[in-house]
Amino acid sequence: MAYHFETRCIYGDRSNVTEHPYRSIPTPIFLASAFGHERIGDFSSYSYSRVSNPTRSDLEEILSSLEGAADTVATSSGMAAVSIVLDLFSIGDHFVCSEDLYGGSFRLFDNIGRPHGLNFSFVNTADPAATEAAIRPETRALYIETPSNPTMQVTDLRAMREIADRHRLLLIVDNTFLTPYFQTPFDLGADIIVHSGTKYLSGHNDVLAGFVCTKSPELAERVRFIYKTTGYTLSPFDSYLCLRGLKTLPVRLERQQENALAIAKWLREQPCVKQVYYTGLEDHPGHDIHCRQARGFGGMISFHVDSEETARKTLLNVQLITFAESLGGIESLITYPMLQTHEDVPKAQREKLGINDTFLRISTGIENAEDLIADLDQAMNS
């Protein structure tokens, strides 16, 4: 029987489910580093938690069901997930990446990937021609965020797949902002999906986690080998927290999206707000493409205010919304990307993208939208 998405968030597809001890309803937390064997030479079940763990396996199976993956590994952070992906490649390999990329990914690529012999070009992947022009003989992959973090650029994933096919490249997609509830990149041609599970998938600002989802069994086998060898694994307790968070993913995202649209429309009416970036607004330049490849717009908004003074006043005066990094939790957060999430991006690149001292980002939570708007109003306009 094929279950709907909301059901699979709780149970997965039940293709590999065993009854939990004592008929426990939630997956138990198996805090075992090692497991005993019944027979010599038969190590097909659990043996050592760095390799596999029952709590983590349940989580990985549910993510595979939601993304339509051949396999998924759950990692100790989103950056650990990206690191595993980099380990698939060799010295001299080249990536073409979205220019508006999460600052932590840029830091990893520029400060660890490059010294280890990998090369990266950052281009506006919303422009397929510019993307293809950046490809070299040694290019091996396209690395895409859509919508991008934090300026919400939209990349046409079907166009990226066509480019990848012409040049025999892997298509890697960071699906953190939308999750498989709103966007399933494998259906659009991706080979690998990465997530910061810290964000929407867990959803409660209480755990660090990441995921690497693979489309083909061959890629899955390579990722599993790297995973068990390097030890980027998610702990049993954190796996339990992610499992708990996933159960309410659709409910949370619907409310967060509803709040985001209301706030984005309100921001557009404020004299001190000069530009709003939200893919749910019909005049967003990527709105039509986004609607063709996604089922929703998510809960992330970025915007420019009229001055640095207004930006700083807003950040320091919010009372309900929290001035903090991260995103995707049930609590609304406001961030100053220039000094927080994108501090390590070179200044010239930040300013080219508009990530400057008047640029703010909001992750909407599940609070009442009127309360959030009232908080922004008193912080920004009083």
Of the residues 174, 191, 238, 375, which is catalytic?
Answer: 174
Using CB atoms within 10 Å of the CB of residue 340, give its burial: 0 to 12 exposed, 13 to 18 middle, 19+ buried. Answer: middle
50 noted as active-site residue: yes
Q: Is the Cα torsion angle 128, 129, 133, 137 positive or negative in sign?
A: positive
Of the residues 56, 161, 199, 252, which is catalytic?
Answer: 199
161 noted as active-site residue: no
**Residue 375 burial (CB count, 10 A):** 19
Of the residues 3, 50, 244, 312, which is catalytic?
Answer: 50
Q: Where are the beta strands (DSSP E) in 272-339?
A: 273-277, 300-305, 322-323, 333-335
Of the residues 56, 58, 100, 102, which is catalytic?
Answer: 102
Token pair 């494998």 is found at 186
Own/partner pairs, 188-192, CB within 8 angstroms, 24+ separation: 188/157, 188/158, 188/161, 188/293, 189/157, 189/158, 189/160, 189/161, 189/164, 190/157, 190/161, 190/215, 191/164, 191/215, 191/216, 191/219, 192/85, 192/219, 192/223
**Phi, psi (rounded to 5 degrees) for 173:** -125, 125
306 noted as active-site residue: no
Q: At what angle do helices 308-317 and 369-381 cross, to 10 degrees?
A: 130
228 noted as active-site residue: no
Cα gap 230→224, rounded to integer Å: 10
- Residues carrying an active site annotation: 50, 102, 174, 199
